Amino acid sequence: MKIVRTSILPFHGFSAINLLGILFVHHGVYLSNELINHERIHTAQQRELLYVFFYIIYIIEWLVRLTMRGNAYRNISFEREAYANQRNLNYLKERPLCAWRHYMRPAARHRK
């Protein structure tokens, strides 16, 4: 994964953003193994959806989640999969195709 350090991206409040498999990170942000793995999971999601469908689904799901309870960003299925598995550094070796589908359930079912 190509990593680009910049002060422009990502937007305020985020430390990194993965665009088309390129990771844009603010200067000074520590790139932990978990963060890299999180972003690699997003790259896998993007590839299997031919990139364009990833962004279309991501934005539509975010807009829908804005109308629901909880944090819309954190409840997007792509983010749920990435956050749930970022600590498993072997996850991408064992990950089923389109595993994000299994994270589309309503947010309330994931609460502890």
Min dist. Cβ of residue 8 to Zn ion (A): 19
Judged by beta carbon, residue 61 or residue 79, the one nearer Zn ion is 79
Segment lying near Zn ion (by CB under 5 A), choices 51-59, 63-71, 74-82, 88-96: 74-82
Contact, 38 vs 86, CB < 8 A? yes
CA distance 71 to 62: 10
Segment lying near Zn ion (by CB under 5 A), choices 26-34, 47-55, 66-74, 75-83: 75-83
Contact, 47 vs 1, CB < 8 A? no
Site for Zn ion in 81-110 (CB under 5 A): 82
CA distance 45 to 82: 9
Contacts with Zn ion by CB under 5 A lie at 79, 82
